[in-house]
Amino acid sequence: MLSQIDTATRRASNWLVWFSAIILAAMTVMTFFDVVGRYAFNSPIVGAVETTELFMGVIVYLGMAMTTH
């Protein structure tokens, strides 16, 4: 019984870690284009700072699953 629960929680934790990695990659790409747009074209992405802050919060909470497991 406990091995089934352990397997289920490990799968859920791995899924959350992969989702967190995808969000981190999206945040990196968005930050790159925001910096390029700001310095090369003088036109940054609107709301990029706020979106980055939200992504960072989501990454922290999604990482807690693997940390506690």
4-59 pLDDT, tens digit per residue, is 988 998 899 999 999 999 999 999 999 999 999 999 999 999 999 999 999 999 99
Q: Is the pTM higher than 0.75? A: yes
Whether 45 and 33 have beta carbons less than 8 Å apart is answered as yes
Return contacts of 54-59, CB within 8 angstroms, 24+ apart.
55/23, 55/24, 55/26, 55/27, 56/27, 58/20, 58/23, 59/20, 59/23, 59/24, 59/27
